[in-house]
């Protein structure tokens, strides 16, 4: 099985949270003391935050795709972006990515839908993609 890749560093704290959650979930399924193969690509937060703050979404997209290409070269089989902000360009990043991606936004919506009836009602509407926003 190929390793899972995480593009992190945008918010180091969230990268740590995802890493711990992935290990916990893995160990719940495989309580033999082993760990999953995970490759973390920690990006320069300033390189991401500047373009995000100025609305330069093309630069954000290119940076994310470049980091995913790095993970692909490392032999990763699937990846995620360990921060909410880059998901503003998720659709375009996914289109250009050499790897299949897990959307933390869609995964969260799905988890909410399956965890309680009240949450199901709150997330019944489809999750809008970034390309569906007005002006995009």
Burial of 111 (0-12, 13-18, 19+ CB in 10 A): exposed
Q: What are the domain boundaries of the chain?
A: 4-132
User: Which H helix or E strand runs over 19?
Assistant: helix 12-29
- pLDDT in 10s for each residue of the chain, 136 residues: 899 999 997 878 888 998 999 999 999 999 999 999 999 999 988 899 999 999 999 999 999 999 999 999 999 999 999 988 999 999 999 999 999 999 988 888 898 888 755 544 444 433 433 333 333 3
What pLDDT does residue 114 have? 82
Bridge partners for 7 per DSSP: 41, 81
| Residue-level pLDDT at 111 | 86
Is the alpha carbon torsion for 125, 83, 76, 69 positive or negative? positive
Give pLDDT, residue 117: 54
Fold of 4-132: Rossmann fold (3.40.50)
User: Which pLDDT score, from 0 to 100, does residue 116 have?
Assistant: 59
> What is the model's pLDDT at position 78?
97
pLDDT at position 35? 94
The arrangement of strands across the sheet holding 101-102 comes to 38-42, 4-8, 78-81, 101-102
Distance (Å, whole) CA 34 – CA 20: 14
CA-CA distance, 106 to 126, in Å (whole number)? Answer: 9
pTM surpassing 0.85?
A: no
What pLDDT score does 65 carry?
A: 98
80 three-class SS: strand
């Amino acid at each position: 099985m190929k390793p899972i890749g995480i593009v992190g560093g945008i918010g180091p704290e969230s990268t740590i949270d995802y890493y711990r959650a992935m290990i916990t979930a893995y160990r719940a399924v495989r309580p033999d003391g082993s760990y999953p193969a995970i490759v973390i690509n920690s990006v320069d937060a300033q390189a991401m935050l500047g373009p995000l703050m100025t609305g330069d979404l093309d630069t954000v997209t290119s940076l994310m795709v470049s980091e995913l290409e790095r993970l692909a070269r490392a032999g990763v089989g699937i990846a995620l972006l360990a921060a909410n902000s880059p998901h503003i360009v998720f659709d375009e990043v996914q289109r250009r990515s050499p790897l299949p991606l897990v959307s933390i936004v869609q995964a969260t919506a799905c988890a909410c839908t399956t965890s309680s009836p009240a949450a199901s009602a709150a997330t019944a509407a489809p999750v809008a993609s970034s390309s569906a926003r007005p002006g995009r």
